[in-house]
Amino acid sequence: MSSNNTQLKYSKIIEEIKNDILSGKIKVGDKITSENKLCEQHKVSRHTVRKAISDLVNKGYLTSIHGKGTYYTKNIHSEAPSHNIGVITTYISDYIFPHVIKGIDHVLSKNGYSIILKNTGNSQRMEEKCLEDMLNKNIDGIIIEPSKSDVLNRNIYLYEKLDEYNIPYVFIHGLYQHFSDKPYVLLDEIQGSYNATKHLLDIGKKNLIGIFKIDDYQGKERHKGYTKALREAGIPYDPDRIIMFHTEDRKTKPSLMIREFINNKTPIDGILCYNDQIAHSVYQELISLGINVPEQIAIVGYDNSFIAENNRVPLTSVNHPKEELGKMAAKLLLDIIHAKADKDQLQKIIAPELILRESTKL
């Protein structure tokens, strides 16, 4: 057997035992699979199995008792403070995320903490790997932006492990529905979308199109705000004037659907977009079709990002206090760690503000 193949199987044994611990298949006090059975299952020598088990013993996962076997005898997480905080976001290097991370780092570094940063690409499978990695490290807490937060979460067992190990976590910028009792810092998405839609209505736009992301918390809440504003204005809600998109088709579907509406001569005089990235792509699509913004169609974005400010026609947008959101999440987590957080102050919602620019000016 080649050394590379042996190393691969050695690593597989380690990962299998760690995953069995994290998933709850192996509980505190349980004896792990015997060396003989591990040799048979993985087609490796006893030396390879013993090396893998020894590595897990040295790292504190397992305890070997002479003549009795190897047991999972204590939680992975150390009780000693590490002054490390895990930060898991959907993305790192683009759009609003560097500003959120900057806010988190400002508070944590000021208080003597370091960040272990991970990103999921808005994939729950990647979120699973990130959480597993965090559970394998000595951390004092986690700030997490959930992935596909309006889809049934597949990683509940890992959040249960965080609870079991008394590792506090704070949700930011989104929330899984079944974790509504957990600490979080969020923007009031319903109010933000309501304000944006009402603005379009107030400037005389009645033939609106709403564009929303279907697989996250923000999209669901922003859709509610849009619907509320229409209802109050006495305008019937028309599902055929709604564009719903998923993470995977965010770069193509919104603008393609707008083109289809225009080609079909659907009356449109205002578009509420899920975020500034979508608003920018919609703007470009309209311009390519010879439609003027805002003279013929007004556009509102969301997040008040650099994209909104620097669009050829600057975009009206709902302000997302990016850095402040990060600071608030970090402060809340530290208050929880140091037992300074009041029970009625664990959930914070930030009031939105609409920033008016040329994309809605008449």
Close Cβ partners of 210 (under 8 Å, ≥ 6 residues apart)? 197, 223, 226, 241, 242, 243, 271, 272
For residue 294, whether the previous peptide bond is cis, meaning omega lies within 30 degrees of 0, is: yes
Provide the residue ranges of all domains of the chain, joining segments of one domain with +: 3-71, 84-188+322-350, 189-320+354-360
Q: What is the value of pTM for the model shown? A: 0.81
The rounded distance, in Å, linking the Cα atoms of 237 and 212 is 15
- Quote the tokens at residue 294: 């805002």
The rounded distance, in Å, linking the Cα atoms of 26 and 20 is 5
Burial track 316-348 (b if 16+ CB lie within 10 A, e otherwise): bbbbbbbbebbbbbbbbbbbbbeeebeeeebbb
Structure confidence by residue, pLDDT tens digits, 167-205:
999 999 999 988 999 999 999 999 999 999 999 999 999
H/E stretch holding 84: strand 84-89
Neighbour count for residue 10 (Cβ, 10 Å): 18
Structure confidence by residue, pLDDT tens digits, 41-100:
888 888 888 888 888 887 667 877 777 788 776 555 556 688 999 999 999 877 888 999
The rounded distance, in Å, linking the Cα atoms of 17 and 61 is 9
The rounded distance, in Å, linking the Cα atoms of 151 and 218 is 12
Angle 35-42/46-58 helices, nearest 10 degrees? 120
Task: Identify the band that residue 289 occupies on the pLDDT scale cut at 50, 70 and 90.
Answer: very high
Rounded CA Rg of the chain? 25
What architecture (CATH level 2) is domain 189-320+354-360?
A: 3-Layer(aba) Sandwich (3.40)
Mean pLDDT of 257-281: 97
Q: Is 324 or 136 the better-scoring residue by pLDDT?
A: 324
Q: How many residues does the chain have?
A: 362
3-71 and 189-320+354-360 share one fold: no
Q: Domain 84-188+322-350 class?
A: alpha beta
Confidence check: pLDDT of 280 > 80 = yes
Q: Domain 3-71 class?
A: mainly alpha
- In the chain, what's the furthest Cα-to-Cα distance? 84
Residue 206 C-alpha from the chain's centroid: 34
DSSP-assigned letter for residue 241 = G
Residue 186 C-alpha from the chain's centroid: 12
Mean pLDDT of 117-144: 92
The rounded distance, in Å, linking the Cα atoms of 216 and 151 is 7
- Quote the tokens at residue 40: 């048979």
The rounded distance, in Å, linking the Cα atoms of 38 and 48 is 10
How would you classify the pairing of strands 298-303 and 316-319? parallel
